[in-house]
Structure 1
Amino acid sequence: MPTDIGEAKKALRKAILQKRRHMDEAVCRQYGRQFARKIIDMPEYKEADTILCYAACKGEADTWILIEKALEMGKRVALPRVTGPAEMHFYKITSMKDVAPGYYDIPEPVENCQEEVSEGFLVVPGTAFDRQMHRMGYGGGFYDRWLKRYGSQVTACGLAYDFQLRNEIPFERHDRMMDIVITPDEVIRKGDAADDND
């Protein structure tokens, strides 16, 4: 059975990433503005002193506007840096000058950013999400491992384009779940699916 799930995940991941690769940069930025507006209005964001966020690249839902806004608002902002095989940690940045291409050319905090952060409002990338709050990543296990360790200290919020949100996605026991999933049209919170009687 796990092999079947693994194969299903691979097929879905390939199809979605192919679709995402063809997205125009201007469209990604436009969605980024929509996501930022939605997040900034959320009580979970307003109450958080610290924002942990991925630095968008390769067609991911744009987070640069959100990062800049959080810095302007005086929130503590941290981005992930890969520190070993399937291992990452979040480090505080104080400006966009603290970010440079790192692992696989993904933007990361530069080496002199040493203050590690492990609590706050966490914005998570992914390949696909579903309405039961499952997340499918890129297959490296970085976020699953990090969330296994620190998940109780964060509110995990997944960002998804409309085509990345499914009614159900294949998941395994080690896959970590989200507290919130945001699309351009919806904000879905844990428990919303359970309230549906249809």
Structure 2
Amino acid sequence: MSDNLDALAQKTALRAEMRQRLRAMTPEDRQSLSEEICERVLENDQWQEAQSVILFTPLPSEPIITPLKLDCEARKVAWVAIAQSSRNAADLHLPDAIDLILVPGLAFSKDRHRLGRGGGFFDRLLAGRAAQAFKLGICFSFQLLDTIPTEPHDIVMDAVVTDGDTMM
């Protein structure tokens, strides 16, 4: 029990730090780094092979993924963009087969663990309807840390793409 409380306290502190760092980004940096992230995603084999993709509607501090939506449309890939304001993953209208899900986070570790915003939405989705999908986390390079606090319910990504690297 104490370990879970420690992890929860560490996550809370790390979330606050990451939110502050994200707020400090200029719109120009966010745009240019987002373009680099999208270029790396577009080069990813799993992205190129996917026929059904779940995207997310970015919050103002998250990478801009418009080029990825345009790529899905150009390749006639079935895609759904989910709003992170959704509270219940079971209510989403998702394809039966999901090849890839693009997952945002406040931080990721080099061993591909994810720190979300604390609501559990993506953890529930990734453990449920998108469990078999390739889980591709995306973030800015400063959000990729050596380690992050984890709990047993946290889902590990299959890969994490930043503006400077891809962790598989």
What's the TM-score, normalizing by structure 1?
0.77
Richer in strand (by share): 1
In the other structure, the counterpart of 1:95 is none
What whole-Å deviation, never above 9, does each CA across 1:88-114 have from its counterpart, x for those lacking one?
3586xxxxxxxxxxxxxxxxxxxxxxx
In the other structure, the counterpart of 1:181 is 160
Identity of aligned residues (%): 25
What whole-Å deviation, never above 9, does each CA across 1:51-97 have from its counterpart, x for those lacking one?
2111112210111221122212211111114686x413586xxxxxx
In the other structure, the counterpart of 2:30 is 28
Q: In the aligned structure 1, how far is the partner of 2:145 from the partner of 2:104?
A: 15
Can you give the 5+ residue segments of structure 2 that lack an aligned partner in the other structure?
none
Q: In the aligned structure 1, how far is the partner of 2:95 from the partner of 2:117?
A: 23
**After alignment, is 60-69 or 120-129 more displaced?**
60-69
Larger RCO of the pair (alpha carbons < 8 Å, separation 6+): 2
In the other structure, the counterpart of 2:94 is 116
Query: 1:154, CA displacement in angstroms?
Result: 0.6
Q: Secondary structure at the match of 1:170?
A: coil
In the other structure, the counterpart of 1:45 is 47
1:134 and 2:113 are equivalent in the alignment: yes
What's the TM-score, normalizing by structure 2?
0.90
**After alignment, is 75-84 or 164-173 more displaced?**
75-84
The count of residues paired between Structure 1 and Structure 2 equals: 165
4+ residue stretches of structure 1 with deviation over 3 A?
81-84
In the other structure, the counterpart of 2:4 is 2
Q: Within 5 Å, which residues of 2 pair with 1:60-139?
A: 60-81=62-83, 86-88=87-89, 115-117=93-95, 119-139=98-118
Can you give the 5+ residue segments of structure 1 that lack an aligned partner in the other structure?
92-114, 190-198
| Contact 1:55–1:64 (CA under 8 A) maintained in structure 2 | no
**After alignment, is 32-41 or 13-22 more displaced?**
32-41
Q: Secondary structure at the match of 2:89?
A: strand
Query: 1:33, CA displacement in angstroms?
Result: 1.5
| Contact 1:120–1:155 (CA under 8 A) maintained in structure 2 | yes
In the other structure, the counterpart of 1:12 is 14
Please tell me whether Structure 1 or Structure 2 has the larger radius of gyration of its CA atoms.
1
| Contact 1:53–1:122 (CA under 8 A) maintained in structure 2 | yes
